[in-house]
Chains A and B, each alone.
Chain A
Amino acid sequence: MLEKMGAMRNAYGEALVELGANNQKVVVLGADTTDSMKSGMFGQKYPERFFNLGIAEQNLVGVAAGLAFGGKVAFAGTYAIFVPGKCVDQIRNMLCYADLDVKLVCSHAGITVGPDGGSHEQVEDLALMRAVPHMRVVVPADAVAVKGIIKGIAEIPGPFYVRITRGVIKGSNTPIVYENGFEYKLGKANVVMDGGSDVALFACGIMVPEAMRAAESLGKKGVKASVIDVHTVKPIDQETVVKYAKLCGASVSAEEHNVIGGMGSAVAEVLTDQYPIPLKRVGVNDTFGESGEAQELLNKYGLTAAHIEEAAQQAIAMKRR
């Protein structure tokens, strides 16, 4: 389990190139990070449909909006600290208010950006994007999911925000969760480890493999956990969240994001509205990050399998007898 590795950004670049061949409407925009983001792969192949706007993120989003008004499906992105960081207004008042076919795909989210430090470690993006009407928010768990999601959302009209990770291992890799492939369905969570009825582990992004490791370790101690990949944070799969709440009676959320406003908050909203059970939220505890290697930061900020396991035990202990 989880022995293969893959780079999310390479998967993004490859997915764009494949999309470009099949769909002439697809255009790609970048902001001086297209080499790092691998969106430049599309530019190599289809230079006439590729636009580098330089270090100007508000204009990046505005120009993408204009291309979408002109009938294109625009993939635009840069590092997550800059988009949505510098252009929430353009995203709200243009992409979402006009329901435009712009897919924002942003990398280097969360604290695993690593050595660049706190100024670059985006832990608010899911909260920011989730609060805007019409926006859909997706967090792929691995490189396979990135490819499936990029191809999937190209066929679904309207705005998306997709958050990808720079990498956890050897710079740009993360563990592969979906060795057998991934097909994207909007608003449908994936149950990656099923059957555990003691605790439900809701995770997204790189915390999915951590949750799987936690479930495995819990299993050895006789605690049965289910792991649900909540890749689409909005619209969240309410049915699956409630189904596993009923099955398990205790839950944990795990995300590489502030505990305020992200996937854990979305799960909490569903639970409080429909089926209240204990929920322990694993995430960045409303603080900024710092420089360090990705794994060191995950350890320090409490975002590992061990932390999820501990939270699971606490959630189980909180179950009403």
Chain B
Amino acid sequence: MGMTTSQEIARLQELARNTRKIILETLAEAGSGHPGGSLSAVELLVTLYFYKLRHDPKNPKWADRDRFILSKGHGAPLLYSILAQAGYFPLSELKSLRKLGALLQGHPDMDIPGVEMPAGSEGIGLSVGVGQALAARLDGRPTRTYVLMGDGEQGEGEVWEAAMSASKFKLDNLVGMIDRNGIQQDGLTEQIMPLEPLAAKWRAFNWNVIEVDGYDYLQLIEAFDTAEMVKNRPTMIIAHTVKGKGISFMEWSPTYHGTPPTKEKMEDIYKELK
């Protein structure tokens, strides 16, 4: 692209700022939904979609495209915001999120252009990623498959079934990502169901594990690039993030896992986003 790294990062920063704004406006309009876990993973997903992923919004079913699977389905506002900016559907669709008859359902479904998997019930996405990666290998396609999970989602047993199978099949075309924001619906993950040592668990399952600061673009870019070089093993990127990132009164707040901002709060939010 001929861009310097600092130009590239400035571009991603601008996209992230816009993504955050769209998420919050969309949720304020919808009146329900999950801001916390959308805001936490903005930089992670912006970097994936606008730096790494090989996809074509004009040809959403292109066979050789990379696949992004949102396993933590409550991150739908984040995914929709990114898909709209990428050109899969008009930004105006976000105004009717969660409304009767809308294209954009509360959680992703297959009628939405650019969505690769319906989501909402936690724990299934990594298994589906394993299947996608196996299909790509069978067909000799260059497709790489990326799966974003929540940290609370790690409580699902199926995640660990999928973890074992991905290393059994040596799926180096599969990348998992964990939005490690430390908070689930009922409170802190380490109180509800402790996950640590999380990286060691994934290493023990024979995954290549990369831990990153989820807001450091250089680390994110390097993680995605490095994952591509690893052979015979899947990669797990654990992104250390902050629930509700970017809006002071939402950060570290279990309340904002599943409560949208009121329209009155949007004034404060606009000030913080500048």
Contacts and interface: CB of A to CB of B under 8 A. Distances in A.
Interface of A: 27, 48-49, 51, 53-54, 56, 58-59, 61-72, 74, 89-90, 93-94, 97-99
B133 A66 contact: yes
A63 B124 contact: no
A61 B131 CA distance: 10
A144 B274 CA distance: 70
Interface in B148-169: 157-158, 161-162, 164-165, 169
B158 A59 contact: yes
27 contacts: A27-B134, A27-B138, A48-B138, A51-B169, A53-B161, A54-B164, A56-B161, A58-B127, A59-B164, A62-B124, A62-B162, A65-B124, A66-B129, A66-B134, A67-B132, A67-B134, A70-B136, A70-B139, A71-B135, A72-B135, A74-B131, A90-B121, A90-B158, A97-B118, A98-B110, A98-B118, A99-B110
A64 B132 CA distance: 9
B223 interface: no
Interface string B115-141: 011101101101111111111101100
Interface of A is mostly: helix
Nearest to A64: B131
A58 B136 contact: no
Nearest to B124: A62
A70 B118 contact: no
A132 B63 CA distance: 30
Contact of B161 (A58, A69, A72, A74): A58
A56 B130 contact: no
Given A65-B128, A66-B133, A58 B157 contact: yes
Contacts of A67: 131-132, 134-135
B29 interface: no
A63 B118 contact: no
A99 to B, nearest CB: 8
A59 B117 CA distance: 15
How big is the B interface, by class?
A: 20 to 34
A58 B165 CA distance: 12
A72 B127 contact: no
Interface centre among A58, A89, A90 (most CB of B within 10 A): A58
A108 B116 CA distance: 34
Contacts of B158: 56, 58-59, 62, 90
B111 to A, nearest CB: 10
Nearest to A71: B135
Contacts, number: 105
A59 B162 contact: yes
Nearest to B136: A70
B124 A69 contact: no
Contact of A70 (B110, B124, B131): B131
B109 interface: yes
Given A59-B127, A62-B126, A70-B134, 15 more contacts: A58-B127, A62-B158, A63-B131, A63-B162, A64-B131, A66-B127, A66-B128, A66-B129, A66-B134, A69-B116, A69-B132, A70-B138, A70-B139, A90-B158, A97-B109
Nearest to A92: B121
Given A48-B138, A58-B158, A70 B132 contact: yes
B131 A68 contact: yes
A59 B130 contact: yes
Contact of B165 (A59, A70, A74, A89): A59
Interface centre among B63, B118, B131, B134 (most CB of A within 10 A): B131
B134 A94 contact: no
A126 to B, nearest CB: 23
Contacts of B165: 53-54, 56, 59, 63
A54 B121 CA distance: 23
Contacts of B157: 58
B161 A59 contact: yes
Nearest to A62: B127
B46 to A, nearest CB: 24
